[in-house]
Structure 1
């Protein structure tokens, strides 16, 4: 599975613009850029471990754990058990 940005490029500039606007909107409601990108990846994928979400969201894997923990603490994500998110 490709990254969100690769999917946006494949779909053309409106999808890329839509992704950028979604990130900006999520930033306005208090998420960081990485949190916004990870949230969009979670919504698109439904579920995923930190590595898969990091790849889809184009964020560093080492940051994904902290970002996913932060999203869970803010109520935007829910851990599903197994490996830590």
Structure 2
């Protein structure tokens, strides 16, 4: 990543599994031109990493608070990441 890029990790809590959250997140991230990934966690949360221009990453975090229809987001925890190996496109992982 260059200096004009930000890499952010996120953990989303609430009713976020079984409601299409991963596919919705992938669609939103791709619209914003972000790279990274999203996956379900065993504890019922959704984890993700977003990489791209800081404004686009910030917009994605705002989107996470809404989620897709059927989701009920109770928390979005974020932190800066320093990852070298990110997929060139945003994708759903397991």
TM-score normalised to structure 1 length: 0.31
More strand, by proportion? 2
More helix by share: 1
Bigger RCO of structures 1 and 2 (CA < 8 A, at least 6 apart):
2
TM-score (norm 2): 0.29
